[in-house]
Amino acid sequence: MADARKSTTALVLEAVQDLHAKEQIVTRETLAELTGLKLTVIDDRLGTLVDDGAILRVQRGVFVPAQQHPPARPMSKTVMPDGMVKIEIGDEVLQLTPREDRALANLMAGAAAQAVAIETGRNTAILAAELGEQIKQLRRQVSALEAKVDPNQAQLFEAPARAVKPAANGARYG
């Protein structure tokens, strides 16, 4: 059973990758049509693949394969006393002059700005989802409270009439 599940998961992943490579929109229906699997099986395998990080849900019912990169290598940057810079990435070492280091920093500025934008967008999406959930909860609470209101007390929800009071100088305020 587990082997059959793995093979259908691999089949669905391959279908997602193939459709995406052909610039086709990947939906559960197109996957069912392509693979011949039932929609319930497709839904289960898509859920597994999303949980495993093999595919991404870009919007409701639309999927794309996740980019698979090799594991990141250790990196370090050392500024030497004479101003030279050593950048180590895995087993490779670059020795840069101060001018080369500045030029490389300028080239990397776009990637740094992109990383900031990605992280900001991710944090914003998380906050928006949390706020949306809180609003849903508050709406449910308000609906429950409104349902419990005695019809004889409906005036409690109406805006109170503002009393106009005279001031000591004869002006009115409310």
d(CA 37, CA 61): 17
Tokens 């279908």: give the residue.
15
Q: For the ranges 144-148, 153-157, 166-170, which has the lowest average pLDDT?
A: 153-157
Instruction: Note whether 92 and 107 are within 8 A (CB).
Output: no
Helical (H) or strand (E) element with 20? helix 2-21
For residues 62-70, average pLDDT: 87
The pLDDT assigned to 151 comes to: 65
For residues 135-161, average pLDDT: 75
d(CA 174, CA 171): 10
Rounded to two decimals, the pTM is 0.41
Confidence of residue 45 (pLDDT cuts 50, 70, 90): very high
